[in-house]
Amino acid sequence: MMKQNDAAFSAEHRQYIARLNRSRRGIKLARWLILIVFIALWELFARVGIIDPFIGSSPVRVAETIARLYSGGELFLHIGITLYETVLGFVLGTAAGTLIAVALWWSPALNRVLDPYLVVLNALPKIALGPILIVWFGAGITSIIVMALLISFVVTIMSVLAGFNEITGEKQLLMKTLGASKLQIFTMVVLPASLPTIMNALKISVGMSWVGVIVGEYLVSKAGLGYLIVYGGQVFKLDLVMASIVVLCLLAALMYYGVAYMEKKLVKWRMHGG
């Protein structure tokens, strides 16, 4: 009887896994179909005149522009500069933001003191700080990195601290009853339970870092994807603008999925006991 139940359970489990795999394949197929249909309609509308190719460009013209940048040796130069600024601003901003969030969780009094300032800093449009950063750090890469750092820094503090504060107090109270120190409570209860929140904060910070870098390149850069977008708009080379935006989207997506892959590996590590 037990063997029959096990066999039935095993068959149901296999059917469930098969349905789950079909659902995943369907979602991936739908994603690709949306992208292909969008590109096809964009090209079609440009060719038949529904949209002006000079203003809206087209996939073929974008591809030709990217090919020209590549053949001229400019493509990877601009990509490399923007990627360097973004990764550095993202890493520094998220690391510093996480450390500050830990300090604010550690000291509730400090948290209450700084809370209104964090709210104001989070609400402040960071582009307003652009002229000040240029004066302080010069019209170069440093100002752009600081801009990206500031944006991801504040977002990380707010997101990670909110995750820390949402952790239930029951386990913490139990740890205190057993004589655990605050460091042990943090490392054994709060931090492990907050890992999903931290990873979500990293995903948000990826996009915010790109925003900071592009805004910075709009203001002071002499190279990079943001510079190409500004330059293309100034000389009415809108194919260059669209090509830069397409490359920017691809890089941002790759960076986001890199963080998502790291999150998946972290989840597997936790499931196997770390």
The more confident residue out of 158 and 6 is 158
CATH number of the domain at 59-271, please? 1.10.3720.10
Mean pLDDT comparison of 2-6, 47-51, 77-81, highest-scoring range = 77-81
Residue 273 confidence (pLDDT) above 60: no
Residues whose CB falls within 8 Å of the CB of residue 201, separated by 6 or more in sequence, listed in order: 94, 97, 98, 155, 156, 159, 160, 163
**CA–CA distance, 255 with 260 (Å, rounded to integer):** 9
For the whole model, what pTM was predicted?
Answer: 0.76
Mean per-residue pLDDT for 199-219? 82
For residue 49, what pLDDT is reported?
81
